[in-house]
Structure 1
């Protein structure tokens, strides 16, 4: 006699994780799975009438009181330590806190012994595809798997403090052939040596090295790791198995990626997970023919089918990932995988067939006339209210919140509650291997709606119906029950003594998988932010002249800050050259309460510097540097003022002619502004200079508006000057206007010079436009002048009082040629 049912998860063959595969009584396996005991459990194993109910969804099973198994999937976010820890591995991309296998301190920094803490943390007892993320203290940090490790490993930039690294990572994926060199070098001679034989073949692990710092760590550093798990075989990428690709079951090196497809994972567990040819977890004697690829491919493809995500875009319909402990039974792991895809796994005479998602098409249609009348039929139209599920709450793993368990948006229906007598019958489900907030909502709705397909039939069917199996879908037209092509799922098949078959049917509806609107998932911040670093208050840097004995002077900088703060015992400061950022002074003062300090060490006159500072805290905490402040020191080599230093930069011995005149005018401006009795003075004086050796670059601008006696005066002058050794170039632009009862004047001047003074390459050029005494003038000073289009006709010239002095020039007019003659040094224009 044959009694075949859908076990969902259940492979009696896999009930033992460390024993050879063995068959258990199917009825007992089912009864134990759905939580039935006593007389009903016996009936389930012996007669088809008792098979009603074995098709209950996992929501109904949860309602009956079935508790989640321990050690199945989920996230282990805490570091485990101790001598007797279970072995584990990672499926898909999942987080683990790992297991501490070795730890110790070493090294000395700044006279501090044992300044570094190195911890060897196991991530998996099987080789993995990679380390995807690192979380420190509840915060995701920057981890670049492709970076080249330094002596301590790959530095984590978030833990770079005071320009020094404080955290490093060295990762091994389980395929390493030598022990970690850092651990061997630091601990080979310790009381508990880390020997070169500690290769950890097949074990994925990290070495986390932290430089201890009270500002960064309170106690031991806390780590979590997101791992791309073990590679698995996907027959769909095996051309020898009807797929497309180079993967082969007999050659694990061809397996690619760390699949998160629940059906692909289930296939590998049923056939058995091995390392280096040795069995590790799952089935031990299941052969490929026991898993027909047609049904497994259909189920795997259904998992990979793209569906709409919240907002925009798509995602795979069903995915699964998690940390699997070897303490878990393979059947329990399979149960979680089936929950992750609303899947059903049937065992038919040692053949395993899955079904995922919505109901399929009917492969057989029958009527009342096909049902045998010689055996009893039974119908369960509705369960008791205690067995009806109308609300679902659930937990899943949320990567956006640090891979911790999160409550999914609850699924309620006032309509269903009214149908159930006005009460809410809620089931809380732990989706331990699900890490998508949208996927869990699809699972919740489909499972709830499917659980409310209440009608179940036990039917005696003729012998030709014995070819059908659990998870097959059939259509039934029944006048007696008023069914017209109604779709049913076969949940159990029993061989009867007369060679006929007994079916257990459960009504199904593909619309159960019509999702409707998804609820957006609100992701809470995961940043574990330390207290903000304290900024220095009222930081300033100003140039000063420091007077010495016998009239000597030195250039200096005055640094100042607000001293009225708590938990501060000093101020640190840095001075650097503005031109290239070279730091020329790093120091600190204990007299933070003075609020200021004069700095002259390494300070040169007439030099642009930048200064920054920060408080030095009395207790271990972070303080922040101020921004860099610019400060130009005075040139006190000859007792000059800061203003004179600018003038020197702008007016070197290489400046001649009108540049000297400009300087004289600028001096008059400054002196005039300082005169006692000046009225309504508005002036602005801006200067910039950079000097290094023989290189000088300077710019000066004076803008003024003032009243002198009965005259209103306004002018603006901009001058630039550069110098390199004996070569210099410069110029100015000036615009000035005066107004008095006696008259008005206005003048615009441009002057340029370049070259080396006293040599033939020294050149000057200038132009003046003015209106003085009611007469407008234009005056030039240049070596060459071009008239017309500028292509030719370039000659020496001079213009004085409206007279142009030239020689040998022909000017073309529009209709004739104008002949130029020189008469008494004057140019006369005549028509030929």
Structure 2
């Protein structure tokens, strides 16, 4: 807080100067002592043991984002930080397959324009702004905003370098609402209209991907701003300064004075306006009431530089946010704390004094003091008022704008004076975000607070022009003063023009500072959270896999991925599969069964294809995770088998059969309906003839019946004939029923049906012919077998074509294959479901061997040890080959020569012969593992050759030595001869 004289405080809170004078006249000693207490700076008051008033206003730093309708307006002075207030937020947009993947927020930062964006903190991390930074205009981009480089990373397995955070800043001079928020973020339930321009308001638009691996809820932002441009009287040549500043032209404002506390105080006293409307501070303050000479002089004291650890810097700077509901007096006190400042009011004029005492403006001696008036002298503080150490708190930009505690300043000499007691004070510098300046303030406050000598005395009218804040030189034999400096903390005019002065000793040496010996470097702590290092996926592997059916037959190719299933802090595993040939995407997915440690991938996987697979852990709490490297894997060559063909054909045939049956059944039902209708409806013309003959004796009964019916009307013509022949004896009966029906309608359709049924004891045979037009015909036979007879052949004996029966409880037809004209059964006549794939064989090779590897025969032969003679036949074997292709593979090992062997080492060669003809020769050189005179060691070798286009039958395979290093011997090996079926 800034410090006022008694008169200045009275003016600030609205008490008249006359009231103060009356109070002082009534109780001079009490008033003078009170005035003396107001003469101390805030820091000095804190360390002198006086209780500072608890400040309930928001000063300096607003670290939490606010929102709602009750947020007061605010603006910034000097370099400061604010979290701002939320004015709009909404989810929107898709990222890949993720809906509402983006979040956009509009955050108001200042209710006065032209503040510059200096820096941004996101979740405790200061981000990198684009080159040139953000000025007071529009910055970011014309669309979504500036992509923050610290938050460019893959998103939830989507891959690639994807920005996750975008920022856009408006400096209050904008003339239109943000187009991106209107077009992308606005929705029907949360509209953002074109009228939301925010004239005169500095605000930011942030958009981020709602990535659960990155953000723990919503990201937190802290915005570093420059403060609003201020009028600096020291830069106005029309009032005694030097420069182009003009109070009536805000476009001329701004500069280094924006960081100085005296300039802040000056502008609060003049008041802040926007477009001519008052916003904050005093109103209608005449410029003459702020004497320019005084204010320019004090601005110069702030601007003066001092050697600091980081180079020369201004002596006093400050910055912070002010809410407009803050009392101006409290704001002034807080600001002037940063410069050991005091504000005084004399006759309606406001003056300021900062830092070390000014040059003396008057001098006096003991002879000038009116001895007839009361005097008061206080030589030292009481113990309860003494403080001999200080440790202040301040907002630290290096610590993410959290409040930091400065290194304590101790005075051991003062502790001894106070009875070896350490009496500490802990003031708070809300407007001082500068570490070294805080330490300078600590020292000067301690030194100033030790100036215990205060005098209250009365001087004659000649000193009537002395004002609070002035410094005088006092020479006193009685007190031992030789031009000792005293500051005037209050001056009270008497009715007889005498003046009562309250004086406090001062010493410019209290403000001396030597960075090299007095500055204590601040050791920064951890800013924000420390994320764990990015974690990779442990024990990641991928290999080909085959899906088997219940018979053990490989049916589908797949990829088996695996990982360390006992990894802690992991909620899921995600994977990606791409083609190795061109990197094109195949499939991606995830599983929450982390502890399983493996997963089979089948989607989109083809046989005999090389893929690349990578994986990544998904953490249970937000943190960075790394993708594994791409692992190549080639799937097994598993093709579709007859099982798939069988199922597909069966399904198609069944569907067609059911479709046809449904259509025919529909037509038959229509015929039945017409005939039934013929018996009941009123036909225009209908005729019917019935005839019946029968014979009966005891249990024997025989009958022939016939019914002929014709009927027509305006819509339908129906003709039917039914003849029944019946014979029955007791419980045994037999019957023959012949039915002929024909229907034609005005709707354009007609049907004809003829059936013959032979029934014996309930078992019916026969046939049923139906014709409903194109696509609606059928011929149904009910019998156990079907035979045909070609006249003149086979002794006129009929041959069965097929037999009806059941297979596994389902109807089936057995076909006589020799009924095909050429005696063969072609694939086009194979009925689905009639061939067992496990019993099918081609040239003696069963189906599993055809599908799995196509290998029908593998033989192994041992090769004997070989001498060094060239042309030696190592092996000669006759092997039966069925398919026309064979692979020969020889695995053997050379032995070491004698240790004293020093001869040449020619290359060795070995050859394969098939049926006496050379088909392949292999040559290799030796590898020396020692020097002359030492043994030479050789690794085992393996050579192979595939011979195609062999005829079925027995073939001779030989292995011969073509060239051989002297004194070497070939140890026993093995020859594999494999017969492939493809």
Shorter-chain TM-score: which interval? 0.5 to 0.7
Equivalent residue, structure 1, for 2:285: 286
Residue aligned with 2:525, SS: coil
Go from structure 1 to structure 2 and tell me whether the alpha carbon gap of 1:351 and 1:673 turns closer, same or farther (over 3 Å shift): farther
Deviation of the 1:492 alpha carbon: 1.7
Go from structure 1 to structure 2 and tell me whether the alpha carbon gap of 1:359 and 1:30 turns closer, same or farther (over 3 Å shift): farther
Go from structure 1 to structure 2 and tell me whether the alpha carbon gap of 1:679 and 1:504 turns closer, same or farther (over 3 Å shift): farther
Structure 1 segment 396-415 matched on structure 2, within 5 A: 396-415=394-413
Structure 1 segment 547-586 matched on structure 2, within 5 A: 562=564, 565=567, 567=570, 570=573, 572-573=575-576
Residue aligned with 2:51, SS: coil
Deviation of the 1:268 alpha carbon: 0.9
**In structure 2, distance between residues paired with 1:575 and 1:434:** 57
Structure 1 segment 246-257 matched on structure 2, within 5 A: 246-257=244-255
**In structure 1, distance between residues paired with 2:81 and 2:333:** 20
Tell me if the contact between 1:72 and 1:432 (Cα under 8 Å) persists in the aligned partners: no
**In structure 2, distance between residues paired with 1:317 and 1:597:** 70
Tell me if the contact between 1:43 and 1:50 (Cα under 8 Å) persists in the aligned partners: no
Residue aligned with 2:928, SS: strand
Go from structure 1 to structure 2 and tell me whether the alpha carbon gap of 1:121 and 1:264 turns closer, same or farther (over 3 Å shift): same
Deviation of the 1:512 alpha carbon: 0.9
**In structure 1, distance between residues paired with 2:376 and 2:7:** 26
**In structure 1, distance between residues paired with 2:898 and 2:146:** 66
Q: Quick check: 1:65 aligned with 2:288?
A: no
**In structure 1, distance between residues paired with 2:212 and 2:254:** 43
Tell me if the contact between 2:394 and 2:438 (Cα under 8 Å) persists in the aligned partners: yes
Deviation of the 1:398 alpha carbon: 0.6
From 14, 24, 27, the counterpart of 1:43: 27
Instruction: Tell me which moved more, 445-454 or 299-308.
Output: 299-308
Go from structure 1 to structure 2 and tell me whether the alpha carbon gap of 1:194 and 1:495 turns closer, same or farther (over 3 Å shift): same
Structure 1 segment 417-456 matched on structure 2, within 5 A: 417-456=415-454
Equivalent residue, structure 1, for 2:113: 127
Structure 1 segment 276-425 matched on structure 2, within 5 A: 276-310=275-309, 312-425=310-423
Deviations 1:580-632 (A, max 9, x none): x9667665686986769999979999x9x997543466x57556335657989
Equivalent residue, structure 1, for 2:154: 161
**In structure 2, distance between residues paired with 1:587 and 1:314:** 59
Go from structure 1 to structure 2 and tell me whether the alpha carbon gap of 1:598 and 1:279 turns closer, same or farther (over 3 Å shift): closer
**In structure 2, distance between residues paired with 1:153 and 1:680:** 79
Tell me if the contact between 1:571 and 1:588 (Cα under 8 Å) persists in the aligned partners: yes
Equivalent residue, structure 2, for 1:217: 215
Deviation of the 1:426 alpha carbon: 2.9
Deviation of the 1:337 alpha carbon: 1.4
Go from structure 1 to structure 2 and tell me whether the alpha carbon gap of 1:373 and 1:534 turns closer, same or farther (over 3 Å shift): closer
Deviation of the 1:138 alpha carbon: 2.8
Deviation of the 1:230 alpha carbon: 0.9
From 451, 461, 464, the counterpart of 1:463: 461
Go from structure 1 to structure 2 and tell me whether the alpha carbon gap of 1:143 and 1:708 turns closer, same or farther (over 3 Å shift): closer
**In structure 2, distance between residues paired with 1:582 and 1:30:** 90
Deviation of the 1:29 alpha carbon: 7.7
Unaligned 5+ residue runs, structure 1?
Answer: 16-22, 32-38, 545-555, 637-670, 682-700, 716-738, 742-832
**In structure 2, distance between residues paired with 1:41 and 1:525:** 58
Tell me if the contact between 1:679 and 1:708 (Cα under 8 Å) persists in the aligned partners: no
Equivalent residue, structure 2, for 1:784: none
Go from structure 1 to structure 2 and tell me whether the alpha carbon gap of 1:476 and 1:208 turns closer, same or farther (over 3 Å shift): same
Equivalent residue, structure 2, for 1:476: 474
**In structure 2, distance between residues paired with 1:429 and 1:511:** 22
From 151, 154, 158, the counterpart of 2:143: 151
Residue aligned with 2:80, SS: strand
Tell me if the contact between 2:5 and 2:490 (Cα under 8 Å) persists in the aligned partners: no
Deviations 1:617-648 (A, max 9, x none): 6x5755633565798999x9xxxxxxxxxxxx
**In structure 1, distance between residues paired with 2:6 and 2:58:** 16
Q: TM-score, normalised by structure 2?
A: 0.57
Q: Quick check: 1:83 aligned with 2:83?
A: no
Deviation of the 1:400 alpha carbon: 0.8
**In structure 1, distance between residues paired with 2:383 and 2:18:** 26
Deviation of the 1:321 alpha carbon: 0.6
Go from structure 1 to structure 2 and tell me whether the alpha carbon gap of 1:541 and 1:53 turns closer, same or farther (over 3 Å shift): closer
Residue aligned with 2:174, SS: coil
Q: For the aligned residues, what is the CA RMSD?
A: 4.4
Equivalent residue, structure 1, for 2:804: none
Q: Quick check: 1:238 aligned with 2:244?
A: no
Residue aligned with 2:224, SS: strand
**In structure 2, distance between residues paired with 1:29 and 1:501:** 14
Tell me if the contact between 2:318 and 2:338 (Cα under 8 Å) persists in the aligned partners: yes
Go from structure 1 to structure 2 and tell me whether the alpha carbon gap of 1:612 and 1:513 turns closer, same or farther (over 3 Å shift): same
Go from structure 1 to structure 2 and tell me whether the alpha carbon gap of 1:88 and 1:714 turns closer, same or farther (over 3 Å shift): same
Equivalent residue, structure 2, for 1:705: 928
Go from structure 1 to structure 2 and tell me whether the alpha carbon gap of 1:289 and 1:53 turns closer, same or farther (over 3 Å shift): same
**In structure 2, distance between residues paired with 1:204 and 1:355:** 33
Go from structure 1 to structure 2 and tell me whether the alpha carbon gap of 1:28 and 1:265 turns closer, same or farther (over 3 Å shift): farther
From 9, 15, 27, the counterpart of 1:24: 15
Deviation of the 1:390 alpha carbon: 2.0
Tell me if the contact between 1:72 and 1:333 (Cα under 8 Å) persists in the aligned partners: no
Larger Rg belongs to: 2
Deviation of the 1:234 alpha carbon: 1.4
Equivalent residue, structure 2, for 1:197: 195
Deviation of the 1:83 alpha carbon: 1.4
Q: Quick check: 1:520 aligned with 2:738?
A: no
**In structure 2, distance between residues paired with 1:603 and 1:151:** 46
Go from structure 1 to structure 2 and tell me whether the alpha carbon gap of 1:706 and 1:274 turns closer, same or farther (over 3 Å shift): same
Tell me if the contact between 2:240 and 2:293 (Cα under 8 Å) persists in the aligned partners: no
Deviations 1:52-82 (A, max 9, x none): 5442343464433232322252211111122
Tell me if the contact between 1:28 and 1:45 (Cα under 8 Å) persists in the aligned partners: no
Instruction: Tell me which moved more, 189-198 or 171-180.
Output: 189-198
From 23, 35, 40, the counterpart of 1:56: 40
Equivalent residue, structure 1, for 2:616: 614
Tell me if the contact between 1:40 and 1:50 (Cα under 8 Å) persists in the aligned partners: no
Go from structure 1 to structure 2 and tell me whether the alpha carbon gap of 1:257 and 1:185 turns closer, same or farther (over 3 Å shift): farther
Go from structure 1 to structure 2 and tell me whether the alpha carbon gap of 1:315 and 1:420 turns closer, same or farther (over 3 Å shift): same
Go from structure 1 to structure 2 and tell me whether the alpha carbon gap of 1:400 and 1:621 turns closer, same or farther (over 3 Å shift): closer
**In structure 1, distance between residues paired with 2:384 and 2:214:** 54
Tell me if the contact between 1:14 and 1:282 (Cα under 8 Å) persists in the aligned partners: no
Equivalent residue, structure 1, for 2:89: 103
Tell me if the contact between 1:680 and 1:707 (Cα under 8 Å) persists in the aligned partners: no
Go from structure 1 to structure 2 and tell me whether the alpha carbon gap of 1:530 and 1:425 turns closer, same or farther (over 3 Å shift): closer
Equivalent residue, structure 2, for 1:534: 535
Deviation of the 1:276 alpha carbon: 1.2
Q: Quick check: 1:677 aligned with 2:895?
A: yes
Q: TM-score, normalised by structure 1?
A: 0.67
Deviation of the 1:473 alpha carbon: 1.4
Tell me if the contact between 1:27 and 1:45 (Cα under 8 Å) persists in the aligned partners: no
Tell me if the contact between 2:616 and 2:628 (Cα under 8 Å) persists in the aligned partners: no
Residue aligned with 1:504, SS: strand
Equivalent residue, structure 1, for 2:78: 92
Q: Quick check: 1:137 aligned with 2:123?
A: yes
Instruction: Tell me which moved more, 350-359 or 591-600.
Output: 591-600
